[in-house]
Amino acid sequence: MKLLEYEAKDLFRARGIPTAPTGGVIKKAAQINGALKRAGRGPWVLKAQVLVGGRGKAGGVQIAKTPKEAREKAKFILGLKLVTHQSHGQAVPVKELLIDRAVDIEREMYVSVAMDRAKACPIVIASAEGGMEIEELAKTRPEAILKLPIDPGVGLLDYQARSLAFKMKVPAPLLGTFVKFAKSLVKLYLDMDASLVEVNPLVVTKKGELLALDGKVLIEDNALYRHPEFAKRGDLEASALEKEAKKVGLNFIALDGDIGCLVNGAGLAMATMDSVKLAGGSPANFLDVGGGANAEQVTRAFQIILKDAKVRAILVNIFGGIMKCTTIAEGVLAAAKRVKLKVPLVVRLEGTKVEEGKEILAKSGLAMIQADSLWDAAQKAVRAAKSVDANGAKRMAVAS
């Protein structure tokens, strides 16, 4: 779960990590005066609170020198729908605006804590060069990036923090401050079960302060049960449909295509999407219905898939392992009858009692297209989707 910048910086301040003086978050431009007062004298930085990167270049971060300018810019940013290089073509509306006091920057640095999958331990990633995206720096100047593995049971030790400071050429008077900062950041990562804590930029101001000017915190989803305050708040990135799916225990991600996929197992669900693409189509979603592909779950999955108006065909791909294909076939039938499908349905079952399962489907009288392999199913789904015209009216082929 990704936190907004101000949520991350609230966590920072609660652990003694200094940030720029802040006026807090506003939702309406009319609330600007209070925020400016809280932040102290200007100029101020107005920052759109969105979860997508690249907001600065898209106009979501602006400086204001006077209260009048601040109000105008607040109104402007709060009306923005940000399309950034990281938003995958989506327009992200700005609902909240953070008002911070602007600081005079002497130097920008980078520090983050993340999980190193190969080493199976957390690492601190740091660079004397901050401000730009770390992925960009990794490409252009990998030698400028420092990596330090951490013992998850111990945290960051003083000497490790000092060694980072020396390599980053942190000014001598700030050595102690940096050590405290780095240790607190790692402690925050461990305490919050984060999968990423990032400060970019970490700045040295002209006055000689060390401040976290921006903050990113990701809490690992599997550990949310230990952080009920955030579990309750919900995932801000998930679409309404994705949230609805999650509530009923479906693993669902909306995509751009027109073939709805209903699969058991995450890996097979991904491979099903890949097969659809390989057959010349485009998947509308990733959907893992879980191990118990019963009538209830399949019904819910159909309902979620059909809420996407782009869907012109549904591909059901289920490997009947411990659950027999006959049970799955009955479940699919019950669900299809309940939901009253208006788009072609392609079903591919495999596994225990597959022949009997297929027979149940064939005898049902329900219009559906059966397939023998995933590849066969993908091809049939692509053809079926193309047979449905843009208005959604079906010109459905007779079940094969």
Partner 1 sequence: MSILLNKDSKLVVQGLTGQAGSFHAQQCIEYGSKVVAGVTPGKGGTTHLNVPVFDTVADAVKLAGADVSLIFVPPPFAADSILEAADAGIRLIICITEGIPVLDMAKVHRALRQHAAAGHPVRLVGPNCPGVITPGQCKAGIMPGYIHKAGPIGVVSRSGTLTYEAVWQLTSRGLGQSTVVGIGGDPLPGTSFTDVLELFQGDADTQAVVMIGEIGGGAEEEAARFIKDKMTKPVYSFIAGSTAPPGRRMGHAGAIIEGGAGTHGSKVEALKAAGVVMVENLSAIGESVAERELVTRRN
Residues that bind partner 1 (CB under 8 A): 88, 115, 117-118, 120-122, 134-135, 138, 151-153, 190, 193, 195, 220-223, 225-226, 251, 253, 255, 263-271, 273-278, 283, 286, 288, 319, 321-322, 350-352, 373-376
Decide: helix, strand or coil at residue 30.
helix
Decide: helix, strand or coil at residue 185.
helix
Residue of 71, 62, 64 lying closest to 30 (CA atoms): 71
Shortest distance in whole angstroms from residue 37 CB to partner 1: 38
If the CB atoms of residues 10 and 193 are measured against partner 1, the closer one turns out to be 193
Question: Which residue among the candidates 198, 242, 330, 350 is catalytic per the annotation?
Answer: 198
Shortest distance in whole angstroms from residue 302 CB to partner 1: 19
If the CB atoms of residues 210 and 313 are measured against partner 1, the closer one turns out to be 313
State CA 100 to chain mean position distance.
26
Shortest distance in whole angstroms from residue 206 CB to partner 1: 32
Inter-residue contact 29 to 69 (CB < 8 Å): no
Shortest distance in whole angstroms from residue 140 CB to partner 1: 13
Decide: helix, strand or coil at residue 390.
coil
Question: Which residue among the candidates 6, 110, 242, 330 is catalytic per the annotation?
Answer: 110
Q: Which residue has the tokens 């690992």?
A: 220
- In whole angstroms, give the CA distance from residue 305 to residue 318: 16
User: In the annotation, is 296 catalytic?
Assistant: no
If the CB atoms of residues 62 and 184 are measured against partner 1, the closer one turns out to be 184
If the CB atoms of residues 76 and 286 are measured against partner 1, the closer one turns out to be 286
Inter-residue contact 97 to 79 (CB < 8 Å): no
User: In the annotation, is 110 catalytic?
Assistant: yes
If the CB atoms of residues 79 and 152 are measured against partner 1, the closer one turns out to be 152
Q: Which residue has the tokens 């102290």?
A: 40
Shortest distance in whole angstroms from residue 220 CB to partner 1: 5
CA distances 399 to 234, 371, 396, Å, are 42, 11, 8
- In whole angstroms, give the CA distance from residue 99 to residue 25: 6
- Residues annotated as catalytic are 110, 198
